[in-house]
Amino acid sequence: MVLLLCNLQHVIEGILNYIQKIKKKDVVEVVCYERYYMKKQVVLFLVAAMITLCMTACGTEKLMDDNDNKSTVVEPSNDLHTMVIGVTSLEGIFNPLFYSAQVDAQVNDMIFTKVCRLNEKGELIDWAGHLKTEEIMADDGHQQVKYTITLNKGMTFSDGEPVTIDDLLFYYYVVCDPTYVGNSILSTLDIVGMKEYYYDSPNYQDIMDETNEKYAKESITKEDFITYLIETNCDGWFDGMLPGDVGDGRSWADYLSDEGYDAENIGSADEMLAMLADCEYEYYADAYDPLTFYQKQAVLGTLDNGVNVDTISGIKKVDEYTCTILFNSPNISGDKLVSWVPLIPEHYYGKEWKKGDLSSIKALNNAPIGSGAYIFNSYQNNLVLLDKNSNYFKGEPKIDCLKFQVINEGDKVADVTKGDIDITDPSASLEILKQINANPEVEKSLVDSLGYGYIGINAERVPDVNVRMGLMHLMNRTPAVESFYGDLAEIIERPMTPTVAEYPKDAKEYYGYDTKKALDCFIKAGYEQLDGKLVKAGESLIIDVYLCNAKEHPLTLILTQMASDMKNMGAELIVHDIDESNLRTKVQGGEADMWVMAWGNLVNCDLTQIFGSRGASNYQHYYSDEIDKKQEEILKTLDFNERCKLVSEELDMIMEAAIYMPVYQRKNMEIYNSKNINISTLPKKTTTYWNYAAQIETLEMN
């Protein structure tokens, strides 16, 4: 057992635990902040020295009660050498290959360095390396794209080992492994030799043809799918850490928690399968193509008999610091997917790795080593402790320690005001803004969110486009957004966050609020007003709309106005206020006529997941060959201006279909205690893509 002694309470706990171990004749390994080791014996005169060391090196911690997830402040953290960052949750997967929680990603970004990064405008820039892009012609005359990456020389990992191109190649091969389940989609791209490597066959098409012939002509039921998972023990799909996306933005842990299960303690595939069967999981058909799992099983069977393809022919090592990646066709996300990636030390994570088995890499999820500005120290009691990396290639950080501390959302402003927390991100609202403005020691920054709020319509449940257009004309957006957010949000006119560069900045309102136009649309759809009712073939126009937490939702006012207007016309809008889990179930299951939700973390103009005919998140069930073709064209258009034109056309087509009403993009907020932090060392301009973390090495405490 290793006890990390970084404050007085930990020292006391360590001594008591040591005494207990002595009684049991066990050996205790005591680790102080500087990670010097003393084994088997602890002498009393070291206690004072350890207390002094911990007090000066790490400051005073804020401890958590894991039972109620509430903070108990021991002392305000105003140590000159420590900065405390308040977060709402931590999953504890500190591995950029496998994390799923956004807060874990923030920790990983401090530990690992990326080859390239995004600047203040969201543009890709060189960082730990240089990216070169070339459009070339293949022998048969079709266009290819070659990326050349050259790493900076002289960089080292925190254990002193040099950073070389082998570490980047290691990342590529792990995320392209057929058993990889994580955030990267590199294996899905048209890289030369990728399919041969992924399917582990020079004749990979044979595997695809065989599985298609066997299964494509059948209807794969839920029972078939569950049976497949049992047969394969969920291999490549569930590994005990609940990774992946169930199809709606949630991880498996989130989904099962929402269903009432203790997801944190799921330890086997059998438990996972039992829960899926019990809660009647129905998302699999939309969220996944079952054929890919059968194909993957065929690959795994091949790997059991030995690896047939151990390299990706389109990825080549040039020298110790350079490699090239050859795409068989252009892809607008190719540059980011090969360079906006972390450098993973092969010598540490790849010791026991072999194709088809990532278990040795996952075993190090809680013991990360990188080349970033900070070094992982510990994770316990809902607190992550990081030490500065003196060998960071951008220079030694000014702040010795970083602490990521879990706190309650409702306590964020108060904790920063008291000085217990130095930086955090409360949800922006007029009430929160009022609290902050009343505290002169609290500074704030507001940036546009990477998502947007919208109202969706299911085209299968509301099949007449004229009815959908009529509903659009009844959505009075401006009063609702202004009354709830004030200046903390803006109305948007297309279903894409304006933080994406291709968003049409000159987009005009497509459907204005107009009750007369709405009624005209309903009449055009075949409805008529009879005896105070709006009816068609004897049936009244009734629409069911679903949202979560209506009392506090910014768009409730829109629905209230719609209900009143429709009542005056003789129609009915029924508003259902349900919890988040049931809302997702309704929307994903295609049971809602209309719904109110929001998107987040959208960083590019690829909308195939949401509006493509095969998109996993096409919850509006609108399928258009024209939109699909436009999306394919967009993904292959590298010229920015031409791509902007195509995106604008695509968004107009979506608006014309009347399936999505974009409503608002809100502001994200960060707040800082100016008494603790040297505000002058924060970025001169904080943006969606650039905050304190982007230049953490130059940030200072007062």
Closest alpha carbon to 178 in 324, 345, 306, 358: 358
The pLDDT of residue 101 is 75
Helix axes 640-656, 625-635, angle to 10 degrees: 160
Query: What confidence score (pLDDT) does residue 433 get?
Result: 92
Q: What is the C-alpha to C-alpha distance for residues 296 and 379, in angstroms, rounded to an integer?
A: 35
Read off the pLDDT band of 631 (50, 70, 90): very high
Q: Is the pLDDT score of 345 beyond 90?
A: yes
C-alpha distances in angstroms, 75 versus 415, 421, 422, 702?
12, 11, 13, 18
Is the C-alpha dihedral spanning 87, 254, 238, 382 positive or negative?
Answer: positive
> What pLDDT sits at residue 233?
57
Which one has a higher pLDDT value, 508 or 8?
508
Torsion of CA 347, 351, 353, 358, to 10 degrees: -80
DSSP 8-state code for residue 507? P
Tell me which residue of 92, 38, 165 sits closest to 376, measured CA to CA: 92
Task: Specify which residues 296 forms β-bridges with.
Answer: none
Question: Which residues partner with 454 through β-bridges?
Answer: 597, 662
Q: Say what the pLDDT of residue 526 is.
A: 97
Residue 421, pLDDT score:
96
Of 175-184, 216-225, 632-641, 644-653, where does mean pLDDT reach its minimum?
216-225
Predicted local confidence at residue 11, as pLDDT: 32
**Predicted local confidence at residue 183, as pLDDT:** 79
What is this structure's pTM? 0.73
pLDDT digits (tens, 9 = 90+) for 322-343: 999 999 999 998 999 999 999 9
Q: Is the pLDDT of residue 73 over 60?
A: no
What is d(CA 631, CA 649) in angstroms, rounded to the nearest whole number?
10
pLDDT (mean) for 418-424: 95
456 and 595 Cβ atoms separated by less than 8 Å: yes
Phi, psi of 255 (to 5 degrees): -60, -50
Q: What percent of the chain has pLDDT over 90?
A: 60
User: Does residue 63 have a pLDDT over 70?
Assistant: no
Q: CA gyration radius for the chain?
A: 27
Average pLDDT over residues 55-80: 36
Q: Please name the residue that has the structure tokens 């390239």.
A: 116
C-alpha pair distances (Å), 43 with each of 38, 49, 554? 10, 11, 61
Buried b (16+ CB within 10 A) or exposed e, 276-306: beeeebebbebbbebeebbbbbbbbebbeee
Query: pLDDT: is 55 or 109 the higher one?
Result: 109
Work out whether strand 533-536 and strand 401-406 pair parallel, antiparallel, or are unpaired.
unpaired
Strand partners, 82: 401
- The whole-number pLDDT of residue 182 equals 78
Residue 184 predicted with pLDDT over 90:
no
Average pLDDT score over the chain: 82
Structure tokens, 619: 């919850």
Residue with tokens 């799921």: 266
Please give the pLDDT value at position 338: 97
**CA–CA dist 289, 280 (Å, integer):** 18
Tell me the CB-side half-sphere exposure of residue 284, using CA atoms within 13 A: 21
Q: Assign 88 a pLDDT band (cuts: 50, 70, 90).
A: confident
Greatest mean pLDDT among 56-65, 262-271, 353-362, 458-467 lies in 458-467
Highest mean pLDDT among 204-208, 244-248, 540-544: 540-544
Note the pLDDT of residue 263. 61
What spatial distance separates the first Cα and last Cα of the chain, rounded to whole Å?
37
> Which residues 6+ apart lie within 8 Å of 128 measured at CB?
113, 114, 115, 116, 151, 152, 155, 163, 343, 371, 393
Across 656-675, average pLDDT? 96
CA distance 455 to 555: 9
pLDDT at 204: 79
- Does the pLDDT value for residue 304 go beyond 50? yes
Most confidently modeled range among 275-289, 406-420, 613-627? 406-420
Task: Please state the rounded mean pLDDT for residues 652-664.
Answer: 98
**pLDDT the model gives residue 306:** 81
Lowest mean pLDDT among 201-215, 578-592, 631-645: 201-215
Question: What pLDDT sits at residue 21?
Answer: 33
The amino acid at 394: K
What span, in angstroms and rounded, lies between the C-alpha atoms of 60 and 79?
8
CA angle 452, 458, 464 (to 5 degrees): 125
Can you tell me the distance from the alpha carbon of 448 to that of 686, in angstroms, rounded to the nearest whole number?
Answer: 10
Which of these, 625, 620, 627, lies nearest to 659 by C-alpha position? 620
Q: Is the pLDDT of residue 223 over 90?
A: no
Bridge partners of residue 596, in order along the sequence: 455
Q: Would you say residue 525 has pLDDT above 50?
A: yes
Summarize the confidence of residues 566-578 as an average pLDDT: 97
- The band of 314, judged by pLDDT with boundaries at 50, 70 and 90, is very high
Find the angle CA(150)-CA(151)-CA(153) to the nearest 5 degrees.
125
Higher pLDDT pick, 5 / 430? 430
Question: Residues with Cβ < 8 Å from 227, sequence gap 6 or more?
Answer: none
Complete DSSP assignment for 508-574: PPSS---HHHHHHHHHHTT-EEETTEEEETTEE-EEEEEES-GGG-TTHHHHHHHHHHHHHHT-EEE
Mean pLDDT of 497-502: 92
d(CA 558, CA 267): 45
User: Residue 27 contacts by C-beta under 8 Å, 6 or more apart in sequence?
Assistant: 21, 39, 40
**What is the pLDDT, as a whole number, of residue 566?**
98
What span, in angstroms and rounded, lies between the C-alpha atoms of 197 and 329?
A: 18
pLDDT, mean of residues 375-393: 96
| Least confident stretch, 304-318, 528-542, 650-664 | 304-318
For the chain, give me the number of helices (H) and strands (E)? 24, 26
The answer to whether the Cα torsion of 461, 467, 468, 471 is positive or negative is negative
Complete DSSP assignment for 144-208: EEEEEEEEPTT-B-TTSPBP-HHHHHHHHHHHTSTT--SS--GGGS-BTTHHHHHTT-TTHHHHH
Q: Model confidence over 105-124: pLDDT tens digits?
A: 999 999 999 999 999 988 99
pLDDT, tens digit, 9 for 90 and up, residues 224-271: 666 666 565 555 555 455 545 554 455 666 666 666 666 666 656 566
Compute the CA torsion angle 438, 444, 450, 454 (nearest 10 deg). Answer: 10
Confidence category of residue 599, pLDDT binned at 50, 70, 90: confident
Cβ-based burial of 435 (10 A; exposed 0-12, middle 13-18, buried ≥19): middle
